[in-house]
Each structure stands twice: as structure tokens, then as C-alpha cells.
């Protein structure tokens, strides 16, 4: 039995009638390499069933604590039903990319059943090129980007002929506490919570202005300075606070505001060698190029909609803080930072240079924060109030000036070909989540086998033309490639 952390629980608390808390991926597969040249539902179920002992989160279901007195637990589902979780659908003819994206958007918009393990997988037939797709979604309370990539590694192989399955160890059944025992333990923790929170205050108060959304309110900066002084007195944390750091203020855009329960999805790939060529020519990082591409994409969309702000957008950038000791561990080991996206600059070379400078500055700004600061802040409220506070905050932030404009996330993946039940993985497009607070657009990119696979998830009402962003993405890379060629000739 494993208890969810305060941060894990936030992904449950954020769910509402318009917001879901799961993340996923769309895998495009070539079945010609599989036995018999096809991938069937039975093949997929047999593969997943044989590796459940290596992918423990797939068997976990939530065990809530009565009255919400404490965070829930993960327990093995004694009535686990693999057939429920692994399903099969087909696209109508012609089975093009637009139809597949629309189907994924509809599946993404559906919440997961909390009475069962929080994941689903769909084998999708009918793609016009003869390929098949597998769409999976897993609740963010159980995995983050890195642990999600590790889960993919468990289910996939490096050759078309998978090695013999490792026999599962005999599971040790743990007794499930009674509701009374859970309630009593939760009551004890609730009584001790004020003491625990008070001990955290000196360490966390100096960073309170870094919590997205809080820094813009009057008096928060003074609290952070007071926390810095308190840290020096109590010798907790660094006691360091930069008084004159500029604040990032997100401008109003058409895709910020309360989101609907409906989604749009678009996907596409870029060759990694072209991105690396731009990186090498200008002496930047791959992530800098990705951010510059996103800036170009969003500038083009905002110009087309006559809504370009005169200041940069503000992006929420998730960061993994998973240590080597936490490898293959489920749950969330993440932090976040805010970074400007220079859509206000017309020159693509200036955008790339500004992105590079801004990312260095953002990393320096967040470097003093302890790796666990997001988890620590999440645990400041007692569990009984966490859900109510999270949903109220989401509604408030969605109805006021935006805290951030969008989310941009970059997740590393395998650079070698992978196979699922013998079918070769051609691409793996991330399908992430959006909220009222984070804006109506999420751009997540995962590297795989010489490509960068982009997934764009948007609110259907706020960005109905999300597919246009894929065209803008290709145009943005062509623009940077041309600049790199010109730069090389001049050099």
C-alpha cells in the first residue's frame, strides 16, 4: 500500500466538470513487423497482462480515507479486469489524420473511472496507410513525464521479437486497513498538521512569490523578503531573496480564460537532425530551439487572429527533479518554472536569441529553490481542505487575468526503434492536459528515433483551429533552417 503525496493529490483535486487530470500518448505502429503482419486486441491484452508485474501503477486503484481526513492510498485492485482497460475501436474511411486527431480529442475529454485503476488503452484500426494506433491515458496522480516514459519502456521492446517474459514474483498481499483505521490515522495526521506546517514556514516563505499566480498579489513580495530574513535567523534554507527580480506578467490572449470540457488535438513530427543543426550553428540547446519554434508558432496564430500582445507570453515549463534513486518510482517528482515566450519579436533570429537568454535567466532564478518546493507547498494545507482549495483556486484563476498563457513541456525519449507486440513504433505523440489556470493550450514534445513528436492539446472553443499550429510548426523550422544556412555562409 502506497500513499499519494500532496502533489499527486493535486492532480486529483484539479479535476472538475471541465478539467481532467490524465495524460497520455498516441502511438503510431507498423503492424507489418508483428507476427502474422497484424496487431490484434488479443495481442495487446496478452502483452500488457504478461507485464503487469513490471508496471505496478496499472493495477493500482484509489483507496480514499473517510471524510477526506488524509491523502488517499494506492492499493492493488483485487477485482482487476484487463478487458475493461484495453479496448478496440476503428476509424471510418478514409481514416486520415484529421479523423484520428478528432477521435483522440474525444477520448481525452472523458474522465477516468476512479473506482478502477486510473488508465485506459485503445487499439485503433482503420488508418488509411495500413498502420494502427494505440492511445493510452494514465492519471497524472500516478505518473509524471519521466515515469510515463519509463512505463512505455516496460511495455515496449527493442526488437520485433520480444525476449521471453520474466516470471512474476509471487505478490505479497498486504492487508487493507479498515475505514475506521484509516479515519483514525487521518485524524492523528490532521491534528499534527499545524505543527508540521509551522516547521515548513521558514523554509518555504521566502519562495512564496515564485508560486505561479501568487507573485502578482500585493504584499506577497514583502512576505518573501520576510521569509528570507526568517531563514537567516533560523538557518533554514539559503536565506537568499532577490528583491529586484522582474515579474513575468501574462498578457490576455484568446486562449486564456475558463475552458470547456471539450478538446481539440493535433500532432506532427520534426526531424531531430534539422533541429540539432540549428542548435549547433547558433550554439544553443535543443530545448532552446523547441521554445523558439513554439514562439514562432504562437506568434503566427496570434497574428492570424489579430490578437498579438505587445509583450511576451508566459509559459509554464515542467521540470523533472527525479533523482537516480527515484528511477522507476511512480508518482510525481516534478517542479515548474515560468519563462517568457518572445512572440512580440518579429525577427526569428531575435526570438531564438531572446529565448536562449530567457531560459538561462529562468534557470538561475529557480535554482535556489529546493527540489521539493512544489511538493512542500502542496502539503501546506491539510488534506481535508486541499480539494476544496484547489478547485476554488482553479475557478478564480480562470476568471481573472491569466497567470500563465500556456504550457510547453519537453520529455526525452528513446533514440532507438521500439516495438509493441512486434509492431514497430513509428511515432509517439504526447497527449497532455489543460486547466483554467494553465491556459487553453498545452504543447508537449517527446523525442523518439530521430524525431521530435509534438502533441497540441487545446480547448475546443478557445482554439478550434489547433491543426493550423502543425503547419506553423513546419514553417517555423524551415525559417530557422534558412537562418542557419545564411549564418553559415556569412561565417
Q: What angle do CA 258, 261, 264 make, to 5 degrees?
A: 100
- C-alpha torsion sign, points 176, 142, 105, 397: positive
Angle at 326 between CA 322 and CA 331, to 5 degrees: 75
Give 470-474's long-range contacts (Cβ < 8 A, gap of 24+): 470/266, 470/267, 470/268, 472/296, 472/297, 472/300, 472/301, 473/268, 473/270, 473/293, 473/297, 474/268, 474/270
- Out of 85, 140, 207, 241, the active site residue is 140
Rounded to whole angstroms, the Cα distance separating 346 from 354 reads 12
DSSP string, 420-469: ETTEEEEEEEEE---BTTTBSEEEEEEEETTEEEEEEEEETTT-TTTTHH
Give a three-class secondary structure readout of 282-299: HCCCHHHHHHHHHHHHHH
Strands lying side by side in the sheet with 334-341: 263-271, 451-459, 441-448, 406-411, 313-320, 334-341
Let me know if 140 is a catalytic residue: yes
Grid cell of 285 as nine digits: 540547446
What is the rounded distance in angstroms from the CA atom of residue 341 to the CA atom of residue 408? 10
Report the alpha-carbon distance of residue 439 to residue 466 in Å, rounded.
14
Strand order from edge to edge, sheet including 2-3: 2-3, 73-76, 60-63
Q: Which residues are catalytic, by number?
A: 140
Amino acid at each position: 500500500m502506497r500513499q499519494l503525496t500532496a502533489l499527486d493529490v493535486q492532480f486529483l483535486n484539479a479535476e472538475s466538470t471541465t478539467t481532467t487530470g490524465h495524460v497520455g500518448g498516441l502511438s503510431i505502429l507498423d503492424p507489418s513487423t508483428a507476427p502474422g503482419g497484424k496487431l490484434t486486441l488479443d495481442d495487446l491484452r496478452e502483452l500488457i497482462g504478461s507485464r503487469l508485474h513490471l508496471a505496478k501503477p496499472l493495477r493500482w486503484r484509489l483507496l480514499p480515507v473517510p471524510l477526506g481526513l488524509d491523502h488517499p492510498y494506492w492499493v492493488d485492485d483485487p477485482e482487476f479486469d484487463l478487458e475493461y482497460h484495453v479496448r478496440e475501436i476503428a476509424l471510418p474511411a478514409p481514416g486520415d489524420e484529421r479523423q484520428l486527431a478528432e477521435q483522440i480529442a474525444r477520448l481525452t475529454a472523458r474522465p477516468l473511472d476512479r473506482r478502477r485503476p486510473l488508465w485506459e488503452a485503445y487499439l485503433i484500426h482503420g488508418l488509411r496507410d495500413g498502420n494502427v494506433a494505440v492511445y493510452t491515458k494514465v492519471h497524472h496522480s500516478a505518473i509524471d513525464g519521466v515515469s510515463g516514459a519509463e512505463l512505455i519502456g516496460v511495455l515496449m521492446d527493442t526488437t520485433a521479437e520480444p525476449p521471453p517474459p520474466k516470471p512474476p514474483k509471487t505478490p505479497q498481499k498486504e492487508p487493507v486497513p479498515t475505514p475506521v483505521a484509516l479515519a483514525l490515522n487521518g485524524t492523528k495526521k490532521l491534528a499534527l498538521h499545524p505543527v508540521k506546517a509551522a516547521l515548513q514556514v521558514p523554509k518555504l516563505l521566502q519562495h512564496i512569490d515564485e508560486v505561479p499566480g501568487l507573485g502578482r498579489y500585493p504584499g506577497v513580495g514583502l512576505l518573501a523578503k520576510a521569509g528570507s530574513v526568517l531563514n537567516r535567523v533560523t538557518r533554514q534554507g539559503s536565506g537568499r531573496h532577490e528583491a529586484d527580480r522582474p515579474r513575468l506578467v501574462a498578457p490576455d490572449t484568446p486562449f486564456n480564460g475558463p475552458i470547456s470540457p471539450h478538446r481539440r488535438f493535433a500532432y506532427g513530427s520534426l526531424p531531430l537532425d534539422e533541429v540539432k543543426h540549428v542548435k549547433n550553428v547558433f550554439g544553443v540547446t535543443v530545448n532552446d530551439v523547441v521554445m523558439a519554434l513554439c514562439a514562432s508558432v504562437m506568434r503566427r496564430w496570434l497574428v492570424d487572429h489579430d490578437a498579438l500582445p505587445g509583450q511576451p507570453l508566459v509559459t509554464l515549463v515542467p521540470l523533472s527533479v527525479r533523482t537516480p534513486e527515484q528511477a522507476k518510482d511512480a508518482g510525481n517528482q516534478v517542479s515548474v518554472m515560468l519563462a517568457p515566450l518572445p512572440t512580440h519579436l518579429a525577427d526569428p533570429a531575435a526570438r531564438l536569441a531572446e529565448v536562449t537568454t530567457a531560459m538561462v535567466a529562468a534557470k538561475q532564478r529557480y535554482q535556489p529553490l529546493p527540489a521539493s518546493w512544489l511538493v512542500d507547498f502542496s502539503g501546506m494545507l491539510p488534506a481535508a481542505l486541499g480539494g476544496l482549495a484547489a478547485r476554488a483556486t482553479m475557478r478564480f484563476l480562470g476568471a481573472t487575468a491569466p497567470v500563465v498563457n500556456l504550457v510547453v513541456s519537453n520529455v526525452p525519449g528513446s533514440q532507438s526503434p521500439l516495438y509493441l507486440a512486434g509492431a514497430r513504433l513509428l511515432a509517439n505523440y504526447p497527449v497532455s492536459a489543460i486547466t483554467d489556470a494553465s491556459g487553453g493550450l498545452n504543447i508537449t514534445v517527446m523525442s523518439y528515433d530521430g524525431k521530435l513528436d509534438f502533441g497540441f492539446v487545446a480547448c475546443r472553443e478557445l482554439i478550434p483551429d489547433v491543426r493550423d499550429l502543425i503547419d506553423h510548426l513546419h514553417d517555423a523550422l524551415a525559417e530557422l533552417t534558412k537562418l542557419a544556412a545564411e549564418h553559415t555562409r556569412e561565417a
